[in-house]
Structure 1
Amino acid sequence: MPSFHNGRVEIAYLDEGEGEPIVLVHGFASNKEVNWVYPTWVSELKKHGRRVIAFDNRGHGQSSKLYDPDEYQISTMAGDLGALLDHLAIERADVMGYSMGARITAYVARRQPARLRSAILGGLGIGLVQGGGPGENVAAALEAPSFADVTDPVGRTFRAFAEQTRSDRAALAACLRGSRQLMSAAEVAEIRVPLLIAVGSTDDIAGSATALQQLIPGSQVLDIPRRDHMRAVGDRVYKEGVLAFLANRP
């Protein structure tokens, strides 16, 4: 698996296919395989003529593990995305992030719009502005001695997911504590790249997609029927909606 260094942090990535590039940014406690390869996003996008790049965020997968929450500021993690584009000599790309990855994508869309052809925010609606995603209850669940010690329902969900992905739970707890920065309504209103907001209809973590759309001029919403935060990722409606958006964006 190829990798590169952004400063002292090693970032693992995959780069497959040919055509216009799209970069995939996974969610908290996931990795490039779980979020994008296994749900067939990589193969589906390649089949539709795209060069697909996906990477493991710092603290996740095969990338460097860090234990200081300050190392996981959204601006810092967005810097890893920019460094990857520079490493691959890609000036502009479509970027799709899921959950925390969508938070990173939104940051780049606002601060470095020239790097993005379009942005797709999966699994994140008004939670970009209000809420900040999983809270301290999840960090505590990740640090608990065992799964049996976790009683919080959301904490149990993320603890089980972290164990399933064989993640470094201490690194994830630091990441969660460091990456919960919100954007203001005024800041998200500054996003001008073509934008799709894709959220499951039963996702109680992302927040309302429509509420976020109302803050961002020209943005579009894709509702993923009967899917919660975890099950929306590989949904056919999600894939078809993204492919249609990419085919029609400027």
Structure 2
Amino acid sequence: MASFTTPDGVTLAYDDIAPAGEAERTVLLLHGFASNRSEGWRRTGWYGAFERRRMRVIGLDQRGHGESAKLYDPADYTREKLAGDALALMDHLGVRRCDLFGYSMGTRTALQAAILAPDRFSNLILGGVGGRLLEPSTDRGSIMADAMLAEDPATITHPFLRSFRQFADEQGEDRRALAAFVQAQNPPLDEAAMAALPMPVLVVAGQRDEGAGDPEDLARVFPLGKGVSLPGCDHFSAIPHGLTKATVFDFLDGLLDDPFEGRF
């Protein structure tokens, strides 16, 4: 396991996989809540897909997840600290500029990193989200924390919360750390700063992803935004799906005028 220590003393695990020969570009991957770099990116085929395109792949276990340090104070999980971790990893590896891909929870980290250092990212990919990312925050964090800490998963009545709890258990994640993670206090996303981002931005989510909303509603915030809804996909099935990979690679290649033209 490769690891490094952030400026605030948190040890984080990561993968750094380079293709044979010289890499044509680099991508940094930020997984979703209750996931990790192996489950979110390796098992779902993203590592291999990027490697086949001769891309250097960097996958980070965000703090509180996977093989990274488990912390139990919500103050350790602010969006700025998570974004700082991503930038610190780039510095640690000597990566000046790369593409940035976040999924679900990872999109918030990716957005904050892009806002803090827009010159460090060539393209920004936001997966598993849409217009609902812009809605005012509710008490979803405390509800998710309750789901993580419930003694008996059968007592969790909401299907979406129950699915995340089951996923966390399947991954062997530290549920107390996850509960602290979702209770972190963050200000609303800065839409003015998002609207000033200079890089192309892809927003992609499954049409059946009720928690995401319409990707185009979020994409319109960005000067160079593009929103794509994936037919037949929900929040969990979208990330390993071939349509998601095709859409992301068309975006990176500058070919995303109509991502599904001629495919159906």
TM-score by length of 1: 0.95
In structure 2, the partner of 1:16 is: 17
Q: CA deviation at 1:22?
A: 0.4
In structure 2, the partner of 1:228 is: 234
Q: Which moved more, 1:79-88 or 1:119-128?
A: 119-128
- Find the residue that maps to 1:39 and give its secondary structure: coil
- Find the residue that maps to 1:221 and give its secondary structure: strand
Residues 4-51 of structure 1 deviation map (CA, whole Å, 9 limit, x = unaligned):
000321110001123111000000110001110001000010001100
In structure 1, the partner of 2:262 is: none
Q: CA deviation at 1:108?
A: 1.5
In structure 2, the partner of 1:53 is: 58
Residues 200-245 of structure 1 deviation map (CA, whole Å, 9 limit, x = unaligned):
1111112221111222112112221111111111110110111111
Q: Unaligned regions of 5+ residues in structure 1, if any?
A: none
Number of matched pairs: 249
Percent of aligned positions that are identical: 37
The structure with the largest alpha-carbon Rg is 2
Instruction: Report matched runs for 1:4-43 at 5 Å.
Output: 4-6=4-6, 7-18=8-19, 19=23, 20-43=25-48
Note if 1:128 corresponds to 2:129: no
Q: CA deviation at 1:154?
A: 2.2
Letter in 2 for 1:16: I
Supply the distance in 2 between the matched residues of 1:189 and 1:25 (Cα, whole angstroms): 22
Please provide the CA RMSD for this pair. 1.6
Contact 1:32 1:55 in 2 (8 A): yes
Q: CA deviation at 1:181?
A: 4.5
In structure 2, the partner of 1:193 is: 199
- Find the residue that maps to 1:23 and give its secondary structure: strand
Instruction: Report matched runs for 1:1-250 at 5 Å.
Output: 1-6=1-6, 7-18=8-19, 19=23, 20-131=25-136, 134-178=140-184, 181-248=187-254
Supply the distance in 1 between the matched residues of 2:185 and 2:67 (Cα, whole angstroms): 19
Residues 170-191 of structure 1 deviation map (CA, whole Å, 9 limit, x = unaligned):
0001111116643143232122
Q: Unaligned regions of 5+ residues in structure 2, if any?
A: 256-264
Letter in 2 for 1:15: D
Supply the distance in 1 between the matched residues of 2:196 and 2:155 (Cα, whole angstroms): 44
Letter in 1 for 2:47: V
Contact 1:26 1:99 in 2 (8 A): yes
Contact 2:102 2:125 in 1 (8 A): yes
Q: CA deviation at 1:247?
A: 1.9
- Find the residue that maps to 1:53 and give its secondary structure: strand
Supply the distance in 2 between the matched residues of 1:132 and 1:28 (Cα, whole angstroms): 17
Supply the distance in 2 between the matched residues of 1:179 and 1:248 (Cα, whole angstroms): 37
